[in-house]
Amino acid sequence: MTTSHDDQKQPVRADAPGWHSATFETYVALILVILAATFIILIPYQIQAPKLMFGRSFASMEPTLFPTISGFGLLLVSVIYLVQSFRVRTENPFRIIGFRSALRIVIVFGILSGYGLLFEPLGFILSSALAALLISVYLGNRGIISLVLISVALPSLTFYIFTYLLQVSLPEGVFSI
């Protein structure tokens, strides 16, 4: 009895696309898709509706418009990234990082987490100056002039640009008068 070519099982190639060939980029793309979807779902619950006067809004645009556009943009780019991650073979960049480098990443992440927690109580200028100073010194910058420029001048200039030129309110913290 002869078997047709269709009845024979073909071996699965090791480089065939599928979940078994997921790379580091695939997992990052999946996380981004989940974050984007969560962001889109939570937007209406996180942004207040504008005040109404006589049944009409003062604003011509909904305050959820830009975050919604950003969320769908992130979702679209993440899905494209997910599809592309199956086609590209790359090595996990974190496999070659040694313990000391990983520790540096964790410490900088800790400093930035502290920055996020101190942002409101200390204000933008002081918390940004403190975070920039700690990161700069930790990563090896010892020059006084560059430390002053990075930790004092840059946050102050940024605060001025956002607060006075762009009319965006940033937390003043201990500098509020």
Please say which residue of 35, 57, 85 terminates a domain.
85
Q: At 62, list the tokens.
A: 């909904």
CA 120, CA 112: separation in Å to the nearest integer? 14
One domain, residues 68 and 122: no
One domain, residues 72 and 120: no
One domain, residues 36 and 80: yes
Instruction: Identify the burial level of 90 via C-beta atoms within 10 angstroms of its C-beta, where 0-12 means exposed, 13-18 middle and 19 or more buried.
Output: exposed
In Å, how far are 63, 105, 139, 148 from 108, measured between CA atoms? 34, 5, 9, 19
Domain that holds residue 38: 19-85
Please say which residue of 50, 85, 120 terminates a domain.
85
One domain, residues 63 and 122: no
Task: Express each pLDDT in 87-139 by its tens digit.
Answer: 877 776 667 777 888 889 899 999 999 999 998 889 889 999 999 999 999 98
pTM tops 0.85: no
Task: Express each pLDDT in 73-91 by its tens digit.
Answer: 999 999 999 998 888 777 7
User: Which of 4-8, 62-66, 88-92 has maximum average pLDDT?
Assistant: 62-66
One domain, residues 55 and 123: no
DSSP classification of residue 18? S
Residue 24: the pLDDT is: 79
Residue among 100, 109, 85 nearest 25 (CA): 85
Name the domain count of the chain.
2
Q: At 158, list the tokens.
A: 């940024």
DSSP 64-133: THHHHHHHHHHHHHHHHHHHHHTT-----TTTT--HHHHHHHHHHHHHHHHHHHHHHHH-HHHHHHHHHH
Phi/psi for 140 (5° steps) reads 110, 0
In the chain, count H helices and then E strands: 6, 2
Local structure of 57: helix, strand or coil: strand
* Domain assignment present for 13: no
Residue 163: the pLDDT is: 83
Of all residues in the chain, the percent with pLDDT exceeding 70 is 77
